[in-house]
Amino acid sequence: MNPSGPLRKEHRLIEKLLTLIYHETLLMKKQKRVNPVFIDTAVDFIKIYADRTHHGKEEQILFETLKERKLKEEDRLMMEELIKDHVTARQITEQLFEYKNKYVLGDHDYLQRIVEKMDELGSIYPAHIWKEENSFFPAALTYLNESEQQDMIGQFWDFDKNMIHIKYTQVITRLKETSQADTGEYGY
């Protein structure tokens, strides 16, 4: 297995979310209402799995390693384009969450903006995945020898091991911020 294997596997799960987003968006258009729980769950998936976990491995491990190499100009430009895609996806996700919050507070004029952001996610990710799998990953592997590729896979696994702890530390922080209970001696 090479480092693109785990990343491609993650793409398949992200694509499953995209299918759900597509169908949920159709339902929102038809019913003219938003399912806030769906959006919260999708945003959580995108932030933790697609961005922090998947993009994190790409940016902090694969791309950082490749930045140390003398890349062909087209490969360097593709990597920069992929990073821009990650930033754009983060912005869309934040806007989607913000618009959902305004909708929940009663401003139903945000329905159309929510639909637009869901559609944007549904278009940016498939194009991004295609670029990685059909262009960037094959090129990137030419800059890594077999030993480096195996070491990178190990780094990916180590990276993943920490994500569950990061996720649930954030959950506790969020609960503490939103709780009105007195945590007394157990507060931190």
The string of pLDDT tens digits covering residues 15-64 is: 999 999 999 999 999 999 999 999 999 999 999 999 999 999 999 999 99
Do the Cβ atoms of 127 and 89 come closer than 8 Å?
A: no
Q: Helix, strand, coil % (nearest 5) of the chain?
A: 85, 0, 15
Average the pLDDT over 83-97 and give the result. 98
* Segment 141-160, tens digit of pLDDT: 999 999 999 999 999 999 99
Spell out the CATH class of 4-186: mainly alpha
Kindly list the domain boundaries of the chain, sorted by start residue. Answer: 4-186
The 8-class DSSP code of residue 132 comes to I
The confidence score (pLDDT) of residue 185 equals: 56
pLDDT, the chain, mean: 93
State residue 172's pLDDT score.
81
Strand residue runs (E) in 17-143: none
Residue 167: per-residue pLDDT? 79
Please report, rounded to a whole number, the percentage of residues in the chain having pLDDT higher than 70.
95
Q: Which helix (H) or strand (E) holds 68?
A: none
pLDDT at 182 over 80: no
Least confident of 62-66, 70-74, 151-155, 171-175: 171-175
**Across residues 69-80, what is the average pLDDT?**
97
Q: What is the pLDDT of residue 187?
A: 54
The residues, ordered by sequence, that sit 6+ positions from 124 with a Cβ below 8 Å of its Cβ are 85, 88, 89, 92
Q: Give the dihedral of Cα atoms 78, 114, 168, 173; nearest 10 deg.
A: 110
71 band by pLDDT with thresholds 50, 70 and 90: very high
Q: H-helix or E-strand containing 27?
A: helix 4-31
Identify the pLDDT of residue 37: 94
